[in-house]
Amino acid sequence: MKTDMSDKRWAKVYPELGTGPVPAEPYISPEYFALERERVFRRVWLNMGRVEEIPQPGDYLVRDLAVCNASIVLIRGDDGVVRGFHNVCSHRGNKVVLDERGSCRGYLTCNFHSWAYDSQGQLKWVSDEENFFDLKKSELGLTPVATDVWEGFIFVNLDPQPRESLSTYLDGVTGQLAGAGFERLALAHVYRVDERANWKIALDAQNEVYHLPFQHRASFPDVFVLKDNRYTRLLDVRFFRRHSVYSCELNPSHTVTASEELVARLDTAATRCRLPLIGDFDFYAIFPNFVILLFRGAANDFFMTYNFWPLAVDRTVWEIKIYFPPAETAGQRIGQEYAKCRLRNVLQEDAAAHETIHAGLASRAKTHVLFQDNEIQIRHFHKVLADQVGVFQEG
Amino acid sequence: MSHGSLPPSFRSLERFNAWALAKEGDRIRKRRASTMEELRELYDALMPQMEAIVAYLDQFSPAHLPEDAQRLLWLALSFVEVTSAVELYGQPEVRNGLDDPTRFRPVE
């Protein structure tokens, strides 16, 4: 076992993060949420999906970002480049693309008056053009949104002039996951849950494993190494400016059910897919609302992503995506189904907790929340958020 | 889709044909709508057959399963679907989950 079981270890490594209580108000304040909209979500790089979702020229994907009051269309141009645009017609502001995804044969056409844009966002057709005044089609393309791709993940930045490039923004995450080869795995499952909770409550609840032996006592009590067989300890925590990763080590003597033993035996697939894990489970919190989770499998690794999309101060869509290497045998396919079901069950338990936590904080019974040493990465997130929002926060 | 036959060597499992469901959402619904007795019956019948099922399915390319083999795979996935209910929860749904578990939905 590599994990150091000592107490209060990480506060000594990262003393600048402090150890004090953290105000609860940002979880429930409509005013704070308004600031987050303007100073966070409209200013930083946000993950929209992966390039494999729009593989061919003309393939597009629409993401409605309620938190930014924006609808974004991501389209692969006939030159192969993925671009993002505001999904708004230059004529009178109608939404151009009404479906969630698709493939256009050359043009995106607005329903309202049939104005048509090519796959690079240029305005190419105006109905009854001769009846307009001083129309310059070359200046009336779709409004571009800063768009960039890192390791196959598509990000946009709604700031008309982003303060930094995606690569600078992601900081050391790019080095840590360089050449991870995420494209070798395929999107296998998507879940969405519309939660009555602040987006940070949902994210924070996932951004630690302290809760596993308790909240998941029936599902996953001892999957990671435990101090004195009771309490989780992290293998590693690293910070990359705004972002973080924590890692855990699997518990070699965790309770194994009959089906788990069986499924492990059935999966005899060869090793084809390894990911650059630090531990057996790595949780990358990419500020503000994106998470990449890497899982070590016996023969093949896999990954998941979370996007926490705020709809309101007390409402969030938690989007969960699971990516598996293509199954080469029936045993591997069944093993993937098994991993998915176990994880999905745990996440449903989490979703319930997000809502009860929100209800508790919304009562204003508590002015502050507390984080222990295993939760230092949440403390880091709140410090980054407070800096970004520009509101002083104790801690 | 769920009314076809299984491969000849697995005919004894045809009493579970209603579980040979292609979509995860349908398998989840079927689990939620079942009693623990029904879930245990499926679990007990499939558990000792899973190795034979996998050996049978591995004769084919995963992308080109014959129809009866495809149904057998779906049935095996339903076995996976019910294992946590039988082994961990003692009830068809997770413990301490959402008030309405259908709010946690697969997008298919």
State the smallest CA–CA distance between residue A275 and chain B in angstroms.
24
Contacting residues for A258 by C-beta, under 8 A, at least 6 apart: B47, B87
- CB spacing of B62 vs A341 below 8 angstroms: no
Tokens of A359: 């209800």
- CB spacing of B76 vs A331 below 8 angstroms: no
Amino acid at A106: G
In this structure, are strands A59-65 and A290-295 parallel, antiparallel, or unpaired? unpaired
Closest CA to A85 of A203, A76, A261: A76
Closest CA to A394 of A4, A19, A60: A19
The single residue listed with the structure tokens 């809502």 is A355
Tokens of A212: 């596993």
Q: Could you read off the pLDDT tens digit of each residue along chain A, which spans 395 residues? A: 899 999 999 999 999 999 999 999 999 999 999 999 999 999 999 999 999 999 999 999 999 999 999 999 999 999 999 999 999 999 999 999 999 999 998 899 999 999 999 999 999 999 999 999 999 999 999 999 999 999 999 999 999 999 999 999 999 999 999 999 999 999 999 999 999 999 999 999 999 999 999 999 999 889 999 999 899 999 999 999 999 999 999 999 999 999 999 999 999 999 999 999 999 999 999 999 999 999 999 999 999 999 999 999 999 999 999 999 999 999 999 999 999 999 999 999 999 999 999 999 999 999 999 999 999 999 999 999 999 998 644 44
**B47 interaction partners in chain A (CB closer than 8 Å):** 258-259, 262
Distances, alpha carbon A320 to alpha carbons A168, A190, A244, A280, A291, in Å: 26, 6, 19, 20, 10
pTM, two decimals, is 0.96
State the smallest CA–CA distance between residue A218 and chain B in angstroms.
6
CA angle (A77 as vertex; A159, A65 as ends), nearest 5: 35
**B100 interaction partners in chain A (CB closer than 8 Å):** none
The single residue listed with the structure tokens 């002039």 is A161
Q: Other CB atoms closer than 10 Å to residue A149's CB: what's the count? A: 13
Closest CA to A49 of A305, A295, A317: A305
Q: Which parts of A285-375 fold into alpha helices (H)?
A: 330-362
- CB spacing of A330 vs B53 below 8 angstroms: yes
Residue A132 near residue A115 (C-beta atoms within 8 A): no
For residue B56, give the chain A residue with the closest CA: A330
- Domains, in order of start, for chain A: 9-42+172-391 (3.90.380.10), 45-158 (2.102.10.10)
Say whether the peptide bond before residue A288 is cis (omega within 30 degrees of 0).
yes
Each domain of chain B, given as residue ranges in start order, spans: 18-89
Global ipTM: 0.97
pLDDT digits (tens, 9 = 90+) for B48-98: 999 999 999 999 998 899 999 999 999 999 999 999 999 999 999 998 899
